[in-house]
Amino acid sequence: MPLNTSVNKPILNASEPRFDWSRPEIAAFFDMPFMDLMFRAQEVHRENFKPNEVQVSTLLSIKTGACPEDCKYCPQSGHYNTELKKEKLMEVQKVLEEAALAKEKGASRFCMGAAWKRPSEKDFPYVLEMIKGVKSLGLESCVTLGTLNNEQAESLSSAGLDYYNHNLDTSAEFYDSIITTRTYQDRLDTLARVRGSGIKLCCGGIMGMGEEQKDRVGLLRQLSQMSPHPESVPINMLVKVEGTPMESVDDLDIFEFIRTIAVARILMPKSHVRLSAGRHGMSDETQALCFMAGANSIFYGEKLLTTGNPEADKDMTLFANLGINSEKREENSDEVVVEAIALQAMRQEESKLFYEVSA
Ligand code: SF4
């Protein structure tokens, strides 16, 4: 189909982010011939990032399962029987040991996820200690804890939190089909509080939940209207988990998924676009196309919250085959890492922050 919209024009000042993308403009990107779209996305990518660098994060589930929310894709929801082993909030020191291990394996950011509707007063101080400890290891920190009030957002900021993950999942129109225990506006409100407290945003969605292309357009429009854009934009492929209402939803065409990454890259040129959940089910060739479409961030390691993720060695082999390097941050020596964990353990004792929380 011929394209008469601005997407056919050469990208002038492509490095300058726009916050006013219209639905027809975004839909026109999806309609481009695949190779043209990939080429355009690569152009934008190369204007804004080192072309062969991918940021590597590790994600740890610090509190697993029994979540009161009813997200239809999620094995951690207490509404579905997925036989997931529920776990209480992890001890601070154990979390820091995992963080040190992740750093050793090359991660520059450590993300901690808790299956909560919102953090309780009882648990929240432990999370603040985890953030301080991760920072003292020389890693960037990210948490996902559910809905936040202003006070909590400010406390996270004071603890030194770098990123807060809070996904919009899909379009505002399709949202009610996926989650009924909170609204789209609830999500936007928390995102505004996080942004207002000076923390960077990690916000994206899940593809392949039975949504239509107009919903993917709607999600990307919502994200690209945020000013500034979220610094990190995870584009997830649904991982179908037995026992959830989405266990047998139809597969999304993989080229449509790659197109979604490419359009995200074009709309949000300076954001890290993260190839996230669902990566374990993709071939090396598919992942290479995702990187070519502009994905420049991954989770690696053994766990992606509660679903599988390719092993670190396999990821490194793929990186080597593609000539990709992981984005570097300032390194700490082993001694600094050991000291940071010991210091954190002492602070825990001094502040009586022993493990005594319940799920
Ligand atoms: S996605 Fe998050 S909020 Fe939704 S059920 Fe899972 S853990 Fe709870």
Residue 268's pLDDT is 96
Mutate to test the pocket of ligand 1, among 59, 69, 206 (most ligand atoms within 8 A of CB): 69
Q: What angle do CA 30, 35, 40 make, to 5 degrees?
A: 70
- Would the CB of 67 count as within 6 Å of ligand 1? yes
* Total residue count of the chain as it appears in this document: 359
Q: Whose CA is nearest to atom 7 of ligand 1?
A: 115
Across the chain, what does the average pLDDT equal?
A: 84
CA distance 66 to 80: 9
Residue 306's pLDDT is 47
> Over 50: is that where the pLDDT of 71 sits?
yes
Summary count for the chain: helices (H), strands (E) = 11, 12
Binding site members: 67, 71, 74, 111, 142, 202, 274
- Would the CB of 77 count as within 6 Å of ligand 1? yes
CA distance 261 to 280: 17
Q: Whose CA is nearest to atom 4 of ligand 1?
A: 71
At residue 232, the 3 state secondary structure works out as strand
Handedness of CA 318, 320, 326, 332 (dihedral sign): positive
Domain-wise residue ranges, the chain: 37-329
Please give the distance, rounded to the nearest whole angstrom, from the Cα atom of residue 226 to the centre of ligand 1: 23
Which architecture, in CATH terms, is 37-329? Answer: Alpha-Beta Barrel (3.20)
111 is catalytic: yes
> Over 90: is that where the pLDDT of 20 sits?
yes
Nearest atom (ligand 1) to Cα of 179: 4
Query: Cβ neighbours of residue 316 under 8 Å, at least 6 residues apart?
Result: 106
> Over 80: is that where the pLDDT of 310 sits?
no
CA distance 245 to 226: 31
- Of 69, 98, 68, which Cα lies nearest the Cα of 303? 98
> Over 70: is that where the pLDDT of 296 sits?
yes
Please give the distance, rounded to the nearest whole angstrom, from the Cα atom of residue 32 to the centre of ligand 1: 34
Local confidence band at 355 (pLDDT 50, 70, 90 cut-offs):
very low
> Over 60: is that where the pLDDT of 357 sits?
no
Mean pLDDT of 89-102: 87
**Whether pTM exceeds 0.85:** no
Q: What is the pLDDT of residues 229-284, one digit of tens each?
A: 999 999 999 988 888 998 999 999 999 999 999 999 999 999 999 998 778 788 99
**How many CA atoms lie within 13 Å of 341's alpha carbon, on the beta-carbon side?**
17
> Over 80: is that where the pLDDT of 359 sits?
no
* Residue listed under structure tokens 């660098």: 53
> Over 70: is that where the pLDDT of 54 sits?
yes
Q: What is the pLDDT of residues 161-217, one digit of tens each?
A: 999 999 999 999 999 999 999 999 999 999 999 999 999 999 999 999 999 999 999
CA distance 249 to 240: 8
